[in-house]
Amino acid sequence: MTAISEQSSSNLAGFVGLYKRIIKLPEHIPFSLVQLAARVAVAHVFWQSAQSKLASWPVTLQLFANEYNLPFIDPSIAAPLATTAEITGSVLLFFGAFSRLGALMLLGVVSVIQIFVYPENWAEHLLWASLLLSVLARGAGVFSLDYVAERNLSASEK
């Protein structure tokens, strides 16, 4: 009877060990890959938004005047500001150049959208904000122009 309980406990320990190894597998994913995915995903969202604004500027102005209804700013000023922020922030994030600045710009856009335009879409905005906060807090990662610039600046200081 003791041999059976020892065998079942060793099988359990083997199963638990296997389970722990499987659970830890994602820890081997390089964080720079996660940073790259976050940058590209959120850059794509805002790039597409800017492109749709540019596709029909009169419609964009109507949206800003009638649907978005931003307080404190004229639609003829808000529309180009938002479009410029979306284009610039998207490009900076995609290439990872001044990515923290790009993330900050787009966090501003997300904040305005959340507070004044579509507060009911908070889950989607939280997703975008999470990706942007990741870039703001940890940078663009190894697959970025920021990284290349930092390496070159560090090498020139030596």
In the chain, the percentage of residues whose pLDDT exceeds 90 is 81
Q: At what angle do helices 31-55 and 122-138 cross, to 10 degrees?
A: 130
> What are the residue boundaries of the structural domains of the chain, listed by start?
30-157
How many residues in the chain?
158
The model's pLDDT over 23-42, given as tens digits with 9 standing for 90+, comes to 999 899 999 999 999 999 99
Q: Which is more confidently placed, 12 or 132?
A: 132
Contact 38, 131 (CB under 8 A): yes
From CA 130, how far away is CA 66, in angstroms rounded? 29
Work out the average pLDDT over 115-129: 97
pTM above 0.85, yes or no: no
Q: Which is more confidently placed, 71 or 13?
A: 71
Q: How confident is the model at residue 12 (pLDDT cuts 50, 70, 90)?
A: low
**Helix (H) or strand (E) run with residue 147 in it:** helix 145-157
Predicted local distance difference test score (pLDDT) of residue 157: 79
Predicted local distance difference test score (pLDDT) of residue 94: 98
The 3-state DSSP class for residue 97 equals: coil
Work out the average pLDDT over 78-101: 98
